[in-house]
Amino acid sequence: MFSRTENVQTFVRAYPLVTLFIVIQLLVFVIDSFAPGLRIVATGGSFHLALADGQWYRLITANFIHLSLGHLLFNSFALIIFGPAMERMVGHVKFALFYVFAGALANLLTYFTVSNLFYLQAGASGAILAILGFYVFIGRFRRTLMYSQDARLVYIFVAISAVFTLIGSNVSLWGHVYGFLAGFLLAIPLSRFTVPYTRPMRYGKYKQRSYTPPVIHSGDGKWFFYIIIGLAIFGLLAQFL
């Protein structure tokens, strides 16, 4: 599910929206690096002072703007690993709407939480954490949609992300938390239209779907789930300690 064995041609054909989002953020970063006069970050980042002035489009554009090469590469890598399965499971259109809306919602809620008008937020982290929130929900409450090993991998990655969110510098804690919660909550209605992942064949075509549900995972996975919830609560409380 999360192991990428497709060649480039198959990947592009099978996951066009994941490919599009990655290309957009790569192009934006390259253009910003070679044409700083365009001031892409200043005009498209989720800058709270600009949001207060009514420039709400920034809630969306900020998701495709990255402030450093390391941040861009990490988010692109995470999207390549975790985005394709969701695009396949919910469909191209629903995935696109989910990704854009969850990222924008994370930026919006951060705006209402952080009162500093000079606060700047940019990057796809909120939208990517929303994808992980989606997987955590179906892994815990829609177990027939994911294999146990895939669910555990998501739990572990979310736990690691939570730790780096807490100890990292220049990290939008609220953007990460709200992104994850947005994905988790949006998964409640979206999971009704979700099917188990089917790996693409060559040239992006798929085998006939099999609706035989995956093996339901054991109760061991619940401990990973509780650890994630505990880290999220600790992260929230840490802001007030």
Q: How confident is the model at residue 163 (pLDDT cuts 50, 70, 90)?
A: confident
pLDDT band at 222 (very low <50, low <70, confident <90, very high): low
Q: Using the predicted structure, report yes or no on whether residue 62 has a pLDDT greater than 50.
A: yes
Residue 212 vs residue 41, higher pLDDT: 41
Check residues 178 and 164 and name the one with the higher pLDDT: 178
- Please state the rounded mean pLDDT for residues 107-127: 95
Q: Grade residue 87 by pLDDT with cuts at 50, 70 and 90.
A: very high
Burial of 85 (0-12, 13-18, 19+ CB in 10 A): buried
- Cβ neighbours around 173 below 10 Å, total: 18
Q: What pLDDT score was predicted for residue 157?
A: 87
Mean pLDDT of all residues in 24-30:
97
- Catalytic residue list: 125, 176
The pLDDT of residue 209 is 46
